[in-house]
Structure 1
Amino acid sequence: MDFTLTPEQQLLSDGLNKFLDARYDLQVSRDAAKVGEGWQPKIWKAFVEDLGVVGACLPEEIGGFGGGAEELMVVTEALGHALVVEPFVDSVVLGAGLLHSTGNAVALEAAGRIAAGEALSALAALEDGSGGVLSRIETSADRDGEGWKLNGSKAVVTTAPIADYLIVSARTSGEPHDPAGVSLFLIDLADGAPEGLELQRLRTIDDRQAADITFTDVRLPGDALIAGDGAIDLLEKAWDTATAAVVSEAVGLMRKVFTDTVEYAKQREQFGVPIGSFQVLQHRMVDMHLRLEQSVAAQYFAILSLDAEPAERAAAVSAAKATISRAARFIGQNSVQLHGGMGMTEELAIGHYFKRLTAIEYEFGTADAHLARFATATAQIDA
């Protein structure tokens, strides 16, 4: 396979990396995440208007530039390398991408607003006790005249506190584990949450905005239903695409962490010599490099399998996520250890990167969960 970027993809990569190097300050972004709005609207505006990053991976039908999986890889790896806190995966991949896939008029309008930088979105899909399985849904949507009534709860919905749209998976028929009964609803939060919708805000370990959401007799109009039969297939594909995007983000993070650790080992002296000259530490860094290269291979595998049949896609994405989860822990923990106590301080970038790598280890499913999914998917392929 040829993994060389096209001239257009290389321009996208170079432009985004130069912008992030020049204008994306780590301390400013951390302050925005911890005590500010949770993101930087000016940066997001530049992503949309100056760089075309938000639209790079979206269809032209909703105002994007028609890019695909390779553009997604280029963008998310660069965002990971700079530890960007803005909700690209939540709002663009799980938001506009999923909305577009429904083909619903209301959803397409919302997707167009996201592509234009006018709105953000969040996906409320997982519930307590679901084990990361998208079809294990107890949140229900029942007919209420010409509209719908929503009851249930969703756990740790990232970006929800700053979102203009909330995409909610709910059961319109069937038993709690029945994939056929899952539907998707779109809630407009621009004018505030509807009565009965409660957000309990929280901040994740990597300083991202999130919320636990409760729905108590939330009344929605009839056109809030954007996908009924077959919604689970759309949801799973969007989820796999987002998982591959996070895998790519993790590669960018690990590249940065590994490079900084090697440079630190060359400068930090002990017993009058750089600690990088100690053979045991050289072996440790070689192991980190091997994990990074394995992750890059897994990244390519996942990205290039996004348009494959569902079982093949699931196997590739789960193999990549399991690989990345283990590599994120190994590289993150070893980089902190090689930096010593300073690695856990707020002053060094390494501590912030370590928090994000720790979150990615569990985000979109743990290594064990994806190994089980990989086994199921490969069995379906072989059958």
Structure 2
Amino acid sequence: MDFTLTAEQQLLRDGLTKFLATRYDLDVSRAAVKTGAGWQPDIWQAFADELGILGATIPEAAGGMGGSATELMVIAEALGHGLVVEPYVDTVVVAAGLLERVGGDPSSELLEKIAAGGAVVALAAVELDSGDPREIATTAVRDGDDWVLTGAKIVVTSAPLASHLLITAQTDAGPALFLTDFDAAAPAPGLGVHSFRTVDDRLAADLTFDGLRLPAASLLTDSGVADLVDEAFDRGAAAVCAEALGAMRRVLDDTVAYCKQRQQFGQSLGSFQALQHRMVDMLIEVEQSSAAVVLAVLNLDAAAADRARAVSAAKVTLGRAARFVGQNAVQLHGGMGMTEELAVGHYFKRLTAVQYEFGSTDFHLDRYARLTRPLE
């Protein structure tokens, strides 16, 4: 597969990489997620004002740059390499992608805010442990001029940081998508918010709707919502695969550097052939993952079945590789690999969580099998 970045895409990658290397300190980031606000709003604003990455893939008509899925991949991989916790995938890839496809004035106005760094949007779609957003039990019933929502959503990532929520629910006409303002610290009557920190130190929330009233205008669309959300989840899955690829590259580099430095029996660990083989196996997993990510990204705008097949193949490949690379990196670092002092321990947690985002490895393996099953 011949895949070469354009000069502009290389500049985007190099500029973002340099910014993260000089401005995104891992210790500061960890302090923010463990004891602070959960993210760095000034960094998020710099993403918009100084780098323009929040609008890189948003249409020009909505204040963005109209970039392609390739720009998405370049950005997500760089953010994964820097272990960035700010909600790029949730807001810019998933939510903004949905808003772009739905269209309309409310969507366009919110897209402009996202591109400018003025809005964080989370999608509340998953209700069951299967992770399948098509399984919707939450209901929305008309009552006068309002919609009344009843149900629950689980593990809504970035919800505690969000200024807006996108919510899927069943109406008499079928699945629908709603948009509402949101404040996790002061939720609206009928909206329950249970915030928590995930294993990789990101913020999420379980939401309950017990008679939550939304105005009629909050209904964005009730046409083709299942397919729209499916596509949004596939784009999110492809983005976290690219993010995991960047994280694995960093983990592999750190492991090789550690093995060159660490002495055992008067020799560096890197001089032992058995450990060299282990690191070569890690490299092979990374390179296979790179090819899978490229294939998925190039198929994001393909027909639904082709897109789903490529994304599921990437998610399975990255899930297994993230597990292998992360576990071996920790083992080769010895007991230090899981300490708070070393970056590899934090990356290992992120690589573990990635295996379950936007559908687990098992979910995507099953979907790939169904999509490739011969016709009977």
The answer for the alignment partner of 2:106 in structure 1 is 106
Q: Which amino acid aligns with 2:15?
A: G
**CA deviation after TM superposition for structure 1 residue 234, in Å:** 1.1
CA contact (8 A) 1:16 1:78 kept: yes
CA contact (8 A) 1:311 1:378 kept: no
The answer for the alignment partner of 1:283 in structure 2 is 277
Q: Does 1:149 align with 2:148?
A: yes
The answer for the alignment partner of 1:20 in structure 2 is 20
Residue in structure 1 matching 2:251, options 249, 257, 266: 257
Q: Does 1:188 align with 2:181?
A: yes
Q: Secondary structure at the match of 2:179?
A: strand
CA contact (8 A) 1:97 1:111 kept: no
**CA deviation after TM superposition for structure 1 residue 355, in Å:** 0.4
Q: Does 1:343 align with 2:337?
A: yes
CA distance in 1: counterparts of 2:105 and 2:233, whole angstroms: 22
Residue in structure 2 matching 1:330, options 324, 335, 353: 324
Q: Which amino acid aligns with 1:92?
A: V
The answer for the alignment partner of 2:224 in structure 1 is 230
**CA deviation after TM superposition for structure 1 residue 260, in Å:** 0.5
The answer for the alignment partner of 1:9 in structure 2 is 9
**CA deviation after TM superposition for structure 1 residue 135, in Å:** 1.2
Q: Report percent identity of matched pairs.
A: 58
Q: Does 1:203 align with 2:202?
A: no
Q: Which amino acid aligns with 2:354?
A: I
Q: TM-score normalised to the size of structure 2?
A: 0.97
Q: Does 1:313 align with 2:307?
A: yes
CA contact (8 A) 1:137 1:170 kept: yes
Q: Does 1:163 align with 2:157?
A: no
CA distance in 2: counterparts of 1:145 and 1:339, whole angstroms: 62
Residue in structure 2 matching 1:356, options 347, 350, 357: 350
The answer for the alignment partner of 1:133 in structure 2 is 132
Q: Which amino acid aligns with 1:354?
A: F
The answer for the alignment partner of 2:62 in structure 1 is 62
**CA deviation after TM superposition for structure 1 residue 106, in Å:** 1.5
Equivalence map 1:296-311=2 (5 Å): 296-311=290-305
CA contact (8 A) 1:149 1:219 kept: yes
CA contact (8 A) 1:322 1:370 kept: yes
CA contact (8 A) 1:48 1:116 kept: yes
CA distance in 1: counterparts of 2:272 and 2:121, whole angstroms: 49
CA contact (8 A) 1:120 1:163 kept: yes
Q: Which amino acid aligns with 2:208?
A: T
**CA deviation after TM superposition for structure 1 residue 77, in Å:** 0.3
CA distance in 1: counterparts of 2:179 and 2:236, whole angstroms: 19
CA distance in 2: counterparts of 1:92 and 1:273, whole angstroms: 48
CA distance in 2: counterparts of 1:103 and 1:97, whole angstroms: 10
**CA deviation after TM superposition for structure 1 residue 109, in Å:** 1.4
**CA deviation after TM superposition for structure 1 residue 192, in Å:** 4.4
CA contact (8 A) 2:128 2:135 kept: no
- Deviation track 1:185-213 (CA, whole Å, cap 9, x = no partner) reads 01112594221101101100000011110
Q: Which amino acid aligns with 2:177?
A: L
CA contact (8 A) 2:191 2:210 kept: yes
Question: Compared with structure 1, are the counterparts of its residues 193 and 108 closer, same or farther at alpha carbon in structure 2 (3 Å cutoff)?
Answer: farther
**CA deviation after TM superposition for structure 1 residue 128, in Å:** 2.7
CA distance in 1: counterparts of 2:221 and 2:198, whole angstroms: 30
CA distance in 1: counterparts of 2:293 and 2:43, whole angstroms: 26
CA contact (8 A) 1:185 1:226 kept: yes
- Deviation track 1:115-142 (CA, whole Å, cap 9, x = no partner) reads 111110111010134x111111111111
CA distance in 2: counterparts of 1:68 and 1:269, whole angstroms: 46
The answer for the alignment partner of 2:71 in structure 1 is 71
The answer for the alignment partner of 2:211 in structure 1 is 217
CA distance in 1: counterparts of 2:371 and 2:220, whole angstroms: 28
The answer for the alignment partner of 1:177 in structure 2 is none
CA distance in 2: counterparts of 1:290 and 1:11, whole angstroms: 27
CA contact (8 A) 2:170 2:176 kept: yes
Q: Secondary structure at the match of 1:117?
A: coil
Q: How many residues get paired?
A: 375
CA distance in 2: counterparts of 1:44 and 1:132, whole angstroms: 28
CA distance in 2: counterparts of 1:296 and 1:269, whole angstroms: 32
CA distance in 2: counterparts of 1:378 and 1:62, whole angstroms: 38
**CA deviation after TM superposition for structure 1 residue 46, in Å:** 0.8
Q: TM-score normalised to the size of structure 1?
A: 0.95
CA distance in 2: counterparts of 1:260 and 1:230, whole angstroms: 45
